[in-house]
Chains A and B, each alone.
Chain A
Amino acid sequence: MIKKKKNITKPRQSWTFDEYTNSEIRRAANTGIYDIRGGGSKRKLPHFDDLLFLGASISRYPLEGYREKCSTNVTLGTRFSKKPLQLQIPITIAGMSFGALSGPAKEALGRGATIAGTSTTTGDGGMTKEERVHSKNLIYQVLPSRYGMNPDDLRKADAIEVVIGQGAKPGGGGMLLGQKISDRVAKMRTLPKGIDQRSPSRHPDWTGPDDLAIKITELREITEWKVPIFVKIAGARPYYDTALAVKAGADCVVLDGMQGGTAATQEVFIENVGQPTLACIRPAVDALQELNVHRDVQLIISGGIRNGADVSKALALGADAVSIGSAAMIAIGDNDPKWEKDYNKLGSKAGAYDDWHEGNDPAGISTQDPKLIKRLDPIKAGKKLSNYLKVMTLEAQTIARACGKNNLHNLEPEDLCALTVEAAAMARVPLAGTNWIPGIDKY
């Protein structure tokens, strides 16, 4: 028998072997399989929270917060397309697939985006009627899997997005596990019901930037050069990838940092590959500026955008717009505490649920289960999303006015300072209270 020990210190958990790490080791030992989950990086990363706006002062005067105009509209795809995308707000909805999400969830995203005057994006698995009908501006993704890809839908799109990578998994493909493959999903993807559907990491018909240029030409020819073509890259090598996307003929570059979500991939991938969003923006803007196309080729930043402050910080660093995925899901009901009991049954809790690939989402969003799907009212959810988008826009306008800007796109790095050395280096703005920009200035 073990006897009670006296004169002890307070038990101390190892920083290296913390509770989560130990639980993962036990899980791996018990199951023999790596952990798959949805979402983006959950670790604490340098982020927009590490930046602050300076606001107006004697040398800068503000605009009146409630009366003076602060423009928010943005035009995407002005470089080559005949019909650029005209958006009322610089916040778009990122690509999320039908299959990963339910039909009503896709409908809700379309409804919300349309009310707010912005665009939504398809995803792996093709274009559904729900999202086309309810999305005034719909971006059609061309992905390596080409699931559901067809020229008729391509021509119905308001823009095309060639997906090279996702911030959650640069260099990785996707996986839709068999339990989420309903009859409809299977049919759209030309695969049998119930089997795991792998989305490859490379496109089947091109490799490298020279091929990409020809691929973009083909897509322009099929759509008669009408709609903009975006190129989506992960936050891997943002300087070079942005430059190569421009060289290949992109109208817009979508840059997704490692906080950007995925429907499903390995935990080890999400947390250990790619760069934080904050670290990606300035190198991408460098590439655009050096090629003399900054603002002509629009830059859309995604990965961990949550509020108007994040929007304005991304724009101040040189982005033309941002894109939201995880935040949009939360807005329509993902991880809502009202389903706490169900999350608990699944071994999780509201706010932490990320087993989206299993198809048991209590909120009825990342599922194909007919009973769970009914939990989401696409009209109410769409309204919530539009409310959220409007609040984000108002917040961004509030900050911009305080910085004396009558257009969100007039925000600039000079409006910012950083709270940490890391954020100062990544965003290339001075550390608060100093003139020091690490990596740029001598101290």
Chain B
Amino acid sequence: MGKIEIFDFKKKTLRQINQYLQNIDYKKNLREYVIKNPNGNHAICAGLKEDIKVSIKGHVGYYCGGMNKNANIIIEGNAGTGLGENMMSGTIHVKGNVSQSAGASAHGGNIIIDGNASSRCGISLKGADLIVRGSIGHMSAFMAQSGTLLVCGNAGEALGDSIYETIIYLAGKPKSLGIDCEEKKITNKDLKKIEELLIIGNIKNIKPNKFKKYGSAKKLYNFKIDNISDY
């Protein structure tokens, strides 16, 4: 086991910690870091670039791991709004619950949430895979463009409203589907994808065939006046 460098918010500022993690000194050959006493600070680990592991021991505020590339960020607590927003690659694993807009516009990588996620989870998603062990709030996957949202629990109102190419796998029930979102037939390819995501999320208590698939009905892909009541 290699050496682990520890940062403590009681001793260092957000800028000092992010500055270090955004500009890793390879000569030290350190790949593993721990952040203590995050105390809900915002933008922790925003803009990381390298393949490093960062364990955050506590709750984080807004935009933790925002625009992350390559890094593996583990949050041993709850996370605020915009977790992993616009993430490009890497992994963010939250062991608690997450506030609204988790994974907003995330382009790549995986976001794993052990608890529940609030409203607008996966909003305008652009290619990342989101795995939620619990339930998600209303307007999740709103205008989601690409990538996958897998949810083991239930979903709030208007799931997948105005969704584009993102695929939703939901084990529980949606309170309602959003405009232009419909249930789709699940295929063997889907089951394989679900199985992969469950393995990534280390979720063993639910089988792939328990999930239903939702995606775009594509009726709103091009404007038609006859659909005016949907707008």
Instruction: Give the tally of cross-chain contacts (CB within 8 A).
Output: 108
Q: Are A218 and B165 in contact (CB under 8 A)?
A: no
- Which residues of A have CB within 8 Å of B66? 218, 222
Closest to B17 in A: A221
Q: Is A225 an interface residue (CB 8 A)?
A: yes
Q: A204-B101, A205-B63, A222-B47 are in contact. Are A198 and B82 (CB under 8 A)?
A: no
Q: Is A211 an interface residue (CB 8 A)?
A: yes
Q: Which residues of chain B in 142-168 are interfacial with respect to chain A, using CB atoms and an 8 Å cutoff?
A: 142-143, 145-146, 162, 164-165
B107 to chain A minimum Cβ distance, whole angstroms, is 7
SS class of chain B's interface: helix, strand, loop or mixed?
loop
Q: A154-B67, A191-B164, A204-B123 are in contact. Are A221 and B18 (CB under 8 A)?
A: yes
Q: Is B114 an interface residue (CB 8 A)?
A: no
CA distance A442 to B222 in the complex (A): 56
Q: Which residues of chain B in 137-196 are interfacial with respect to chain A, using CB atoms and an 8 Å cutoff?
A: 142-143, 145-146, 162, 164-165
CA distance A224 to B46 in the complex (A): 10
A381 to chain B minimum Cβ distance, whole angstroms, is 32
Q: Is A206 an interface residue (CB 8 A)?
A: yes
Q: How many residues of A contact B (CB 8 A)?
A: 34
Q: Are A195 and B221 in contact (CB under 8 A)?
A: yes
Q: How many residues of B contact A (CB 8 A)?
A: 41
Q: Is A421 an interface residue (CB 8 A)?
A: no
CA distance A135 to B165 in the complex (A): 34
B53 to chain A minimum Cβ distance, whole angstroms, is 19
CA distance A211 to B81 in the complex (A): 9
Q: Are A206 and B162 in contact (CB under 8 A)?
A: no
Closest to A195 in B: B221
Q: A196-B221, A218-B62 are in contact. Are A151 and B127 (CB under 8 A)?
A: no
CA distance A178 to B142 in the complex (A): 20
Q: Is A346 an interface residue (CB 8 A)?
A: no
B140 to chain A minimum Cβ distance, whole angstroms, is 12
Q: Is B105 an interface residue (CB 8 A)?
A: yes
CA distance A31 to B146 in the complex (A): 33
Q: Is A190 an interface residue (CB 8 A)?
A: yes
Q: Is A149 an interface residue (CB 8 A)?
A: yes
Q: Which residues of chain A in 182-240 are interfacial with respect to chain B, using CB atoms and an 8 Å cutoff?
A: 189-192, 194-196, 198, 200, 204-206, 211, 214-215, 217-218, 221-225
Q: Are B145 and A190 in contact (CB under 8 A)?
A: yes
- Listed A/B pairs (16) with beta-carbon separation below 8 Å: A145-B124, A146-B105, A190-B127, A190-B145, A191-B145, A192-B221, A204-B101, A204-B120, A205-B81, A214-B81, A215-B62, A218-B42, A218-B85, A222-B67, A223-B47, A225-B15
